[in-house]
Amino acid sequence: MKEDASKIETITTVGIVIPVDWEENGKPIAYALSSYEEKEYLIDIRTELGKKLSTIEKQKIRVTGTLGSIVNNRRMISIDSYELSSAES
């Protein structure tokens, strides 16, 4: 059975922000959340919170967001809220 990717789904997950696409000069232009469940979600940087996440690379964060369509084999996530996770003990 094929999943309906257009169904609105809200998730909360923990992971890190990584660049996934670059300009010719090496500047990142697209970012994904690489979750600890081994899934990657393309961050919608058209939103204010999405833009903020693009500046928080390689730090552990907890994100709540709404999943959208599939772009380049990744589900798009529109960020509703996020928080930096504290260092592990």
Task: Give pLDDT tens digits for 22-47.
Answer: 999 999 999 999 999 999 999 999 99
At CA 66, angle to CA 14 and CA 79, rounded to 5?
60
**pLDDT for res 2:** 41
Q: Is residue 39 part of a domain?
A: yes
pLDDT for 6 equals 56
Interatomic CA distance for residues 78 and 49, integer angstroms? 8
Q: Which token pair is 12?
A: 């909360």
> Which residue shows structure tokens 């084999």?
73
pTM of the model: 0.82
Q: Is residue 2 part of a domain?
A: no
- Residue-wise pLDDT for 54-70, tens only, equals 888 888 999 999 999 99
Burial 57-84 (b: 16+ CB within 10 A, else e): eeeebebebebbeeeeebbbbbbeebee
Q: Show the domain range for 17.
A: 9-84
Among 89, 46, 40, 30, which residue's Cα sits nearest to residue 63? 40
Number of domains in the chain: 1
The CATH number covering residue 52 comes to 2.40.50.140
In a domain, 76, yes or no: yes
Q: Can you give the pLDDT at residue 87?
A: 55
